[in-house]
C-alpha cells in the first residue's frame, strides 16, 4: 500500500500525464461546482478508484460532467486515464479493447459498460493518420492530460471530474462557457471540422440540447464545409442521426440543421420531404411527439422514427405505383424496399431496424380491414403498438380519418363480445359478394365443358 502511494505521488510530478505538464488547469472544488460523487455511477467510480490506486490518473470526463453541471439527465459515464489500453485490460478481467480509429476499452461492471480511453496527444506521428480531406482515420498517439483536453472538440466537453477528490479540472474555461450559454470550439474550427466533420452536427445537437449559442467563430465555417459530411462513413452518420433524433430537442435540431445547410444529404429523401407541406408537417409532428416522450423519461424507438421520416416518400411512390395499375400490397412492398435501399447508401440502417420499419409500414393498410378474423391478427402482431401510434400521427397530419383510429382504440380495449359486435358488416358483405362473384366466374368458365342435364330428370 505504501509503495503504491509513493508511486502515485511521484507520478503526479514526473509522468507525462501530470497536471503540471503543459497548460495549467483551473481546479474547481466540490463547493463551487455542486457535483457530488454519489451522482456518479458505481461502475465509473470503481474504475477511477482502481486505476488511481495503481498510480494512474483517472477521471470521469466529457459529456457526463457537462450534463451534471447543466442539470441534464445522464445515460453514460466515460473515463479518461493515462493508463494504456493494455494496462487497463490487465486491471479489469471483464474488459475488451474495441475500435480502430480510436482504441477504447469497455469495462463491464455488472450491467454497466464503462468506456475508458487513454489520454491522447495532438502531435502527429506514426499512430496518427488522416485522409486527403484532413479527416482522422487513426489516432492512437497517447499523451498528457493537458494534451488530451486540447484534443477535445468543445470547451464544455474538456472537463475532468475526479470522484475521489471531487474536483473538476478545467483547461479551457468550459465551466464559464456553460454558464455563459456559449458553445465554443477548442482550437481552429476549420481544422477541427476537417479532422472530424461530424463535429458540425454535434455542434448543432449540443447547442439545441443545452440551450447554448454556437460561438460565431465556430458557426461561420459550417455552411461552406458541410460537403465534408459526404466523406463520413454511413455508420457514423447513422449513430449521430440517432443522437439528434433522440436528444429531446429534435425539432430545434432539424430547424438548426436546415439553417446551417447541414440537412442536405443526411437523409436524402428528407431533402424532398421538407420542401413539401404535407411531408414537413408529418415530420415535425413526429419529432415533437418524440421530444415529448424523451423529456418525460420515456423510451423512443429508432425504427418508429425512421419509419415516420421516410413515410412520405413511401406513400407518394406507393400511390404512383397503384395509379400505374400495380396491385396495392405488392406495390407497397416494392416501394418499401426501394426507399430503404436508397437511404442505406448514406445511413447504415441496420437490418433489424429496417425489418421493424417495414412491419410498421406494412400494417398501415391492414388497419383498413375491420371484418372477419383480420383485426384479431393485427392486434396480435408484435409491431401493433408502434404501428398504432404511427396511425395516430397519420390522423393528426390529416392523412387518415380520425374515425379509423377511434375504432382501433376501442377495439383493442374491448372484451370478446364487444369486439365481435364491432366488426363492420358491410365489409363482411363485400367479402361474401366477392366470393359469390368468384364462384360464378368459375361456374361460367366450366359450364361449356359440363354435359347437359336431361330435361326429364335422372335417366
Dump pLDDT digits (tens) for 92-141: 999 999 877 678 999 999 999 999 999 988 654 445 445 554 555 555 67
Q: pLDDT of 34-53, one tens digit each?
A: 898 889 999 999 999 999 99
State in Å, rounded, how far the first CA of the chain is from the last one: 114
pLDDT digits (tens, 9 = 90+) for 309-320: 888 889 889 999
In whole angstroms, give the CA distance from residue 22 to residue 44. Answer: 27
Whole-angstrom distance, CA of residue 408 vs CA of residue 424: 12
pLDDT value, residue 131: 52
Lowest mean pLDDT among 5-9, 54-58, 123-127, 442-446: 5-9
What is the four-CA torsion angle of 324, 328, 333, 336, rounded to 10 degrees?
Answer: 70
State which H helix or E strand residue 143 sits in.
none
The one catalytic residue in 139, 153, 196, 256 is 153
Q: In whole angstroms, what is the distance from residue 313 CA to residue 172 CA? A: 45
pLDDT computed for residue 138 by the predictor = 52
* Residue of higher predicted confidence among 274 and 145: 145
pLDDT of 179 above 50: yes
CATH of domain 1-180: 3.30.460.10
Out of 76, 127, 239, 389, the active site residue is 76
Confirm whether 76 is a catalytic residue: yes
Q: How far is CA 264 from CA 195, 257, 272, in A?
A: 20, 9, 10
- The tens digit of pLDDT for each residue in 68-92 reads 999 887 878 999 999 999 999 999 9
Q: Does 291 participate in catalysis according to the annotation?
A: no
List Cβ neighbours of 40 (8 Å cut-off, separation of 6 or more). Answer: 60, 64, 77, 161, 163
- Residue 109 has φ and ψ, to the nearest 5°, of -115, 90
Average of per-residue pLDDT values in the chain: 82
pLDDT digits (tens, 9 = 90+) for 408-443: 999 999 999 999 999 987 544 455 555 555 455 445
Give the Cα separation of 177 and 319 in Å (integer): 51
What is the grid cell recorded at 212? 447554448
Name the nearest CA neighbour of 266 among 288, 245, 284, 280: 245
Q: What is the mean predicted confidence (pLDDT) over 268-297?
A: 77
Report the distance separating Cα 370 and Cα 424, nearest Å: 6
pLDDT, position 24: 86
Residue boundaries of the structural domains of the chain: 1-180
At 184-236, the pLDDT tens digits run 999 999 999 998 999 999 999 999 999 999 999 999 999 889 888 888 887 78
Are the C-beta atoms of 386 and 303 separated by less than 8 Å? yes
CA distance 81 to 378: 52
C-alpha cell at 165: 477528490
- Tell me the pairing of strands 95-98 and 128-130: unpaired
Amino acid at each position: 500500500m505504501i509503495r503504491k502511494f509513493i508511486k502515485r505521488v511521484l507520478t503526479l510530478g514526473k509522468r507525462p500525464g501530470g497536471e503540471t505538464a503543459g497548460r495549467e488547469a483551473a481546479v474547481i472544488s466540490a463547493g463551487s461546482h455542486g457535483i457530488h460523487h454519489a451522482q456518479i455511477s458505481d461502475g465509473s467510480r470503481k474504475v477511477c478508484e482502481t486505476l488511481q490506486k495503481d498510480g494512474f490518473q483517472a477521471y470521469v470526463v466529457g459529456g457526463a460532467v457537462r450534463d451534471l453541471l447543466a442539470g441534464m439527465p445522464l445515460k453514460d459515464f466515460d473515463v479518461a486515464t493515462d493508463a494504456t489500453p493494455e494496462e487497463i485490460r490487465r486491471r479489469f478481467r471483464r474488459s475488451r479493447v474495441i475500435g480502430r480509429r480510436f482504441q477504447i476499452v469497455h469495462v463491464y461492471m455488472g450491467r454497466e459498460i464503462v468506456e475508458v480511453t487513454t489520454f491522447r496527444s495532438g502531435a502527429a506521428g506514426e499512430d496518427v493518420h488522416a485522409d486527403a480531406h484532413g479527416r482522422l482515420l487513426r489516432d492512437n498517439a497517447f499523451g498528457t492530460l493537458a494534451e488530451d483536453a486540447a484534443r477535445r472538440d468543445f470547451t464544455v466537453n474538456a472537463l475532468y471530474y475526479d470522484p475521489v477528490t471531487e474536483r473538476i479540472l478545467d483547461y479551457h474555461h468550459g465551466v464559464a462557457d456553460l454558464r455563459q450559454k456559449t458553445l465554443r470550439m477548442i482550437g481552429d474550427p476549420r481544422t477541427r471540422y476537417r479532422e472530424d466533420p461530424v463535429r458540425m452536427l454535434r455542434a448543432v445537437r449540443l447547442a439545441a440540447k443545452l440551450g447554448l449559442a454556437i460561438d460565431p467563430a465556430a458557426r461561420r465555417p459550417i455552411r461552406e464545409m458541410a460537403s465534408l459530411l459526404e466523406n463520413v462513413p454511413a455508420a457514423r452518420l447513422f449513430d449521430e442521426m440517432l443522437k439528434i433524433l433522440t436528444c429531446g430537442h429534435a425539432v430545434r435540431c432539424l430547424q438548426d440543421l436546415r439553417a446551417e445547410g447541414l440537412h442536405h444529404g443526411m437523409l436524402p429523401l428528407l431533402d424532398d420531404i421538407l420542401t413539401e407541406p404535407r411531408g414537413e408537417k408529418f415530420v415535425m409532428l413526429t419529432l415533437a411527439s418524440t421530444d415529448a416522450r424523451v423529456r418525460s423519461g420515456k423510451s423512443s424507438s429508432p425504427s418508429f422514427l425512421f419509419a415516420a421520416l421516410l413515410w412520405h416518400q413511401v406513400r407518394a411512390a406507393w400511390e404512383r405505383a397503384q395509379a400505374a395499375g400495380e396491385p396495392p400490397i405488392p406495390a407497397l412492398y416494392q416501394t418499401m424496399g426501394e426507399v430503404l435501399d436508397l437511404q442505406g447508401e448514406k445511413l447504415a440502417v441496420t437490418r433489424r431496424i429496417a425489418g421493424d420499419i417495414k412491419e410498421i409500414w406494412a400494417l398501415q393498410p391492414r388497419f383498413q380491414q375491420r371484418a372477419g378474423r383480420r383485426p384479431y391478427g393485427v392486434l396480435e402482431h408484435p409491431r401493433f403498438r408502434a404501428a398504432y401510434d404511427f396511425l395516430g400521427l397519420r390522423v393528426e397530419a390529416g392523412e387518415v380519418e380520425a374515425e379509423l383510429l377511434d375504432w382501433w382504440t376501442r377495439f383493442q380495449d374491448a372484451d370478446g363480445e364487444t369486439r365481435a359486435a364491432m366488426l363492420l358488416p358491410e365489409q363482411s358483405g363485400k367479402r361474401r359478394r366477392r366470393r359469390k362473384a368468384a364462384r360464378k366466374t368459375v361456374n361460367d368458365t366450366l359450364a361449356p365443358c359440363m354435359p347437359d342435364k336431361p330435361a326429364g330428370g335422372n335417366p
